[in-house]
Homo-oligomer: A and B are copies of this chain.
Amino acid sequence: MYRLQSLAARSLIAGALDQCSPLTLTSLTGVRHKSQGPSVEKCGQMRFLTAEAKAAAGRLEGKLREKTLTLDTLNPQVKAVEYAVRGPIVIKAGEIERYLEEGGTKPFSEVIKANIGDAHAMGQQPITFLRQVVALCTFPELMDSPSFPEDAKWRARRILQGCGGHSLGSYSASPGVECIRKDIAAYIEQRDEGVPSDWENIYLTTGASDGIMTILRLLVSGKDSSRTGVMIPIPQYPLYSAAISEMDAVQVNYYLDEDNCWALDINELYRAYQAAKLHCQPRVICIINPGNPTGRYIDNVYTPDCQFHSFKKVLYEMGPEYFNSVELASFHSTSKGYTGECGFRGGYMEVINMDPEVKAQMVKLLSVRLCPPLAGQAAMDVIVNPPQPDEHSYKQFRQEKSSVLGALADKAKLTEQILNAVPGIKCNPVQGAMYAFPRIFIPPKAVEEAKALGMQPDMFYCLRLLEETGICVVPGSGFGQKDGTYHFRMTILPSIEKLKVLLGKVRDFHIRFLKEYSALE
Measured CA separation A170–B134 after assembly (Å) = 15
Binds B, one of A63-71, A412-420, A513-521: A63-71
**Do residues B273 and A75 form an inter-chain contact, with CB atoms below 8 A?**
no
Interface membership of A163, Cβ < 8 A: yes
Q: Which residues of B contact A425 (CB under 8 A)?
A: none
Which chain A residues (454-484) contact chain B, with CB distance < 8 Å? none
Interface pairs (8), CB distance under 8 Å: A20-B285, A45-B289, A67-B355, A69-B219, A71-B357, A86-B364, A118-B170, A121-B164
Binds B, one of A30-38, A384-392, A400-408, A434-442: A30-38
Interface membership of A182, Cβ < 8 A: no
**Do residues B369 and A25 form an inter-chain contact, with CB atoms below 8 A?**
no
Measured CA separation A283–B24 after assembly (Å) = 8
**Do residues A164 and B118 form an inter-chain contact, with CB atoms below 8 A?**
yes
Measured CA separation A325–B22 after assembly (Å) = 11
Measured CA separation A432–B287 after assembly (Å) = 50
Q: Which of B14, B16, B340 contacts A285 (CB 8 A)?
A: B16
Interface membership of A275, Cβ < 8 A: no
**Do residues B120 and A355 form an inter-chain contact, with CB atoms below 8 A?**
no
Which chain A residues (271-325) contact chain B, with CB distance < 8 Å? 273, 282-292, 295-298, 301, 303, 305-312, 314-315, 317-319, 321-322, 325
Q: Determine the residue in chain B with the shortest Cβ distance to A33.
A: B306
Distance to closest chain B CB from A232 (angstroms): 9
Distance to closest chain B CB from A330 (angstroms): 5
Which chain A residues (51-85) contact chain B, with CB distance < 8 Å? 52, 57, 60-65, 67-71, 73-79, 81, 83, 85
**Do residues A165 and B120 form an inter-chain contact, with CB atoms below 8 A?**
yes
Q: Which residues of B contact A287 (CB under 8 A)?
A: 24-27, 29
Q: How many residues of A contact B (CB 8 A)?
A: 194
**Do residues B373 and A322 form an inter-chain contact, with CB atoms below 8 A?**
no
Q: A28-B297, A32-B306, A32-B309 are in contact. Are A13 and B265 (CB under 8 A)?
A: no
Measured CA separation A99–B233 after assembly (Å) = 47
Binds B, one of A195-203, A220-228, A443-451, A496-504: A220-228
Q: Which residues of B contact A79 (CB under 8 A)?
A: 361
Q: Which residues of B contact A421 (CB under 8 A)?
A: none
**Do residues B121 and A131 form an inter-chain contact, with CB atoms below 8 A?**
no
Q: Which of B9, B132, B167 contacts A314 (CB 8 A)?
A: B9
**Do residues B71 and A28 form an inter-chain contact, with CB atoms below 8 A?**
no
**Do residues A121 and B171 form an inter-chain contact, with CB atoms below 8 A?**
yes
Interface membership of A329, Cβ < 8 A: yes
Q: Which residues of B contact A431 (CB under 8 A)?
A: 31, 43
**Do residues B29 and A311 form an inter-chain contact, with CB atoms below 8 A?**
yes
Interface string of A186-220 (1 = CB under 8 A from B): 00000000000000000000111110100111111
Measured CA separation A321–B74 after assembly (Å) = 23
10 A-B pairs besides A27-B291, A138-B138 with CB distance below 8 A are A15-B270, A22-B283, A25-B329, A26-B288, A31-B431, A32-B307, A49-B266, A69-B354, A69-B355, A86-B364
Q: Chain A binding site: helix, strand, loop or mixed by DSSP?
A: mixed
Interface membership of A381, Cβ < 8 A: no
Distance to closest chain B CB from A325 (angstroms): 4
**Do residues A344 and B121 form an inter-chain contact, with CB atoms below 8 A?**
no
| Residue from the set A29, A131, A285, A329 with the largest chain B CB neighbour count within 10 Å | A29
**Do residues A289 and B29 form an inter-chain contact, with CB atoms below 8 A?**
yes
Measured CA separation A290–B31 after assembly (Å) = 10
Distance to closest chain B CB from A189 (angstroms): 16
Interface membership of A491, Cβ < 8 A: no
Q: Which of B70, B217, B322, B327 contacts A75 (CB 8 A)?
A: B217
Q: A14-B318, A27-B291 are in contact. Are A343 and B374 (CB under 8 A)?
A: yes
Measured CA separation A150–B248 after assembly (Å) = 51
Interface membership of A488, Cβ < 8 A: no
Interface membership of A452, Cβ < 8 A: no
Interface membership of A345, Cβ < 8 A: yes
Measured CA separation A239–B370 after assembly (Å) = 10
Q: Which of B64, B212, B370 contacts A321 (CB 8 A)?
A: B64
Measured CA separation A64–B353 after assembly (Å) = 13
**Do residues A311 and B24 form an inter-chain contact, with CB atoms below 8 A?**
yes
Q: Which residues of B contact A486 (CB under 8 A)?
A: none
Interface string of A76-115 (1 = CB under 8 A from B): 1111010101110000000000000000000000000000
Q: Which of B60, B147, B328, B329 contacts A322 (CB 8 A)?
A: B60
Measured CA separation A45–B341 after assembly (Å) = 28
Q: Which of B85, B122, B231, B325 contacts A64 (CB 8 A)?
A: B325
Q: Which 8 A-B pairs have the closest CB atoms?
A: A121-B164, A343-B374, A135-B139, A30-B296, A120-B167, A222-B222, A86-B367, A121-B170
Q: Which of B77, B307, B353 contacts A34 (CB 8 A)?
A: B307
Distance to closest chain B CB from A35 (angstroms): 6
Distance to closest chain B CB from A258 (angstroms): 12
